[in-house]
A and B are shown apart, each in its own frame.
Chain A
Amino acid sequence: EDQVTQSPEALRLQEGESSSLNCSYTVSGLRGLFWYRQDPGKGPEFLFTLYSAGEEKEKERLKATLTKKESFLHITAPKPEDSATYLCAVHPGYNKLIFGAGTRLAVHP
């Protein structure tokens, strides 16, 4: 069964304390892996798309990496405004995305 698991469920960081969020997946035929940011009561905001193992993408304090079994979202020197839920989704070989449950990140000053 195709599955996406995100860990940890929740993460509390001090401002400036770097860390990583994990997205592990078991799917048949990966067409793409997506990271989104979601603020409370709002729709997910697109961050990155990764297509193949070894690929990396960066945006400000965020860096996403991909292997054959998992993806990491690295957050370097986070700020309170980085607090949000981060969602991972994979597109297997058929017509839908499979979403993880998300990681709730809280960054405290």
Chain B
Amino acid sequence: DGGITQSPKYLFRKEGQNVTLSCEQNLNHDAMYWYRQDPGQGLRLIYYSQIVNDFQKGDIAEGYSVSREKKESFPLTVTSAQKNPTAFYLCASSIRLAGGKRTDTQYFGPGTRLTVL
């Protein structure tokens, strides 16, 4: 079955720690995204990547870092510089970043809930 997997489902971070969230897709999609979801707010874009070895900052990239060494994988590191990291993190992918005049649908993984202790 094709899809997007995220791990772990729950993650606990101590103050000053860096943690890495995994995102893998087997949909053969070029574009991948990381979003953060907080209660009562819309999803906010952290980083996105349209091709291997290339990625761009989204609206709230401060305190986060990513890599895209393989087409299938787009891990997100939450660094100690992120002051309020407790949130639900969602990874998504689409065939391309933008398909001409029409956009491609983004499909989401199951999410990782990060809690700061």
Contact = CB atoms under 8 A, between A and B. Distances in A.
Q: Say if A and B assemble together.
A: yes
Interface of A: 4, 31-32, 34, 36, 41-46, 49, 51, 87, 89, 91, 95-102
Interface residues on B, range: 20 to 34
Contact of A46 (B50, B105, B111): B105
A95 B42 CA distance: 17
B46 to A, nearest CB: 11
B58 A97 contact: no
Given A31-B102, A95-B48, A96-B58, A41 B111 contact: yes
A93 to B, nearest CB: 9
B31 to A, nearest CB: 9
Contacts, number: 61
A89 B45 CA distance: 12
A31 B102 CA distance: 5
Contact of A97 (B6, B41, B45, B111): B45
Nearest to A5: B42
B53 to A, nearest CB: 17
B115 to A, nearest CB: 13
A99 B42 contact: yes
Interface of B: 4, 6, 40-45, 48, 50, 56, 58-59, 88, 90, 97-98, 101-103, 105-111, 113
A31 B101 contact: yes
15 contacts: A31-B103, A41-B88, A42-B110, A43-B90, A43-B111, A44-B90, A45-B108, A46-B107, A87-B43, A91-B98, A95-B98, A99-B43, A99-B44, A101-B40, A101-B42
Contact of B103 (A4, A41, A91, A102): A91
A101 B41 contact: yes
Contacts of A96: 45, 48, 58-59
Contacts of A91: 98, 103
